[in-house]
Amino acid sequence: MKKVLIIGGGVAGMEAAGQLAVLGYSVVLVERKDVLGGHVRKWDRLFPNKRPSEEVVNHLLQKVQHPNVEIRLKRTVTDLRRNPNGSFLAILSDQSPVSADVVLFATGYHLFDAYRKEEYGYGIYNNVITSADLERMFKNGEVKTAEGKIPQRVGIVHCVGSRDTKCGNLYCSRVCCVTGVKQAIELKELIPNVEVFNFYMDLRMFGRGFEQLYLEAQQKHRVRFVRGRLSEASETQDHGIFLKVDDTLVGRPMKMTVDMLVLMVGFEPRKTTFPLLESLGIEKNEDGFIKIRDCHFDENRTNVDGIYVAGTCTSAKSISETINDACSAALQIHRNLSAKVKDKRK
């Protein structure tokens, strides 16, 4: 039985593991945390249909419950080498060796560290939080300020750490717009009279059901959208957050105080994987995400033969897209490994 090593037990790794197991491959799934699931576990409900994130995690957990899948938790890959015959030998952090015919990187992303956007005051003012922090509050069923009050006015800032050369990130993180809209709706559902303002540069509602969410936010919940990027936030005496933004559609500057400011943090490449990538000569893009062979026809292979990629280690993706990408990676691996099908491209 041919063997596939999958690095990363998030959505992409789990989906690919499940698919490859069914296709008859022996899979070793390595995850650094003590549970599978990755970032999704941090989220409460998911766009576009407000599905509880556990449903996705449980669905994927069922898929990896397969005799062909061997799960290694709380381990990382510390060394990865190619054998003379073209296969790979990995050493895990517990010193155990894993040999594999091919390796799939499903190493995911890193959430932008909002401290780096200093002018927004994350880590300085207690009522500035990130989208991930807000999800934690949703999970606990209550949203309160640091002083324990129910916020009456909340600001949501789009593009934090994305589309910003000052942060070194030119790209759009793609899912934070719809997350901002989803969270605005959830705030409105949780706190009846709360005012919510979304500060955006462009609203990128590209996915299935996204535009409908935007309409719902306006129509049903009266969420207010302000086109303008927050320039700076400061704290008022009673721990409110004072905002300065250019209301670009009105053509005048705007200021307001909110009780809570939520930063839509974007995706960043996972830098801890860089040494491994470099040791094998796997190329990255300028933005640090792993480079794919072709942006139309070959999204799941890297420049190195036998090293495949799936999910958000190559670019920001939604969960639906990550699952599709993982399926396509599994199929690509199957095509290249199966003796019956010869891949002419190779």
Give the DSSP H or E segment for 5: strand 3-7
Give the DSSP H or E segment for 61: helix 53-64
Strands 69-72 and 77-82: unpaired
- Residue 287 binds other proteins, judged by CB under 8 A: no
- The set of residues, in sequence order, having a beta carbon less than 8 Å from that of 297 and lying 6+ positions away, is none
Distance CA(112)–CA(115), nearest Å, equals: 9
What mask, x for binding other proteins by CB under 8 A, covers residues 26 to 45?
Answer: --------------------
Give the DSSP H or E segment for 181: helix 176-190
Q: How far is the CB of 199 from other proteins (least distance, A)?
A: 12
Q: Which position among 26, 152, 257, 338 is part of the footprint of other proteins (CB under 8 A)?
A: 257
Binding site for ligand SF4 (CB under 6 A): 158-159, 162-163, 172-174, 176-177, 202, 204, 264, 266
Nearer to ligand SF4, 139 or 204 (CB): 204
- Do the beta carbons of residue 14 and residue 324 sit within 8 Å? no
Q: Please give the angle made by the CA atoms of 30, 31 and 35, to the nearest 5 degrees.
A: 135
Nearer to other proteins, 83 or 236 (CB): 236
- Which residues inside 127-166 make contact with other proteins, applying CB under 8 A? none
264 binds, among ligand SF4, other proteins, none (CB under 5 to 8 A by kind): ligand SF4
Nearer to ligand SF4, 162 or 300 (CB): 162
Percentage helix, strand, coil, to 5, in the chain?
A: 30, 30, 40
295 binds, among ligand SF4, other proteins, none (CB under 5 to 8 A by kind): none
Q: How far is the CB of 209 from other proteins (least distance, A)?
A: 17
Nearer to ligand SF4, 173 or 312 (CB): 173
- Residue 328 binds other proteins, judged by CB under 8 A: no
- Residue 253 binds other proteins, judged by CB under 8 A: yes
- Residue 250 binds other proteins, judged by CB under 8 A: yes
- The set of residues, in sequence order, having a beta carbon less than 8 Å from that of 58 and lying 6+ positions away, is none
First-to-final CA distance of the chain: 21
Of 162, 203, 148, the C-alpha closest to 179 is 203
Q: Which position among 227, 239, 291, 293 is part of the footprint of other proteins (CB under 8 A)?
A: 227
Which residues sit at the interface with other proteins, rule CB under 8 A?
Answer: 214-215, 218-219, 222, 224-225, 227, 247, 249-250, 252-257
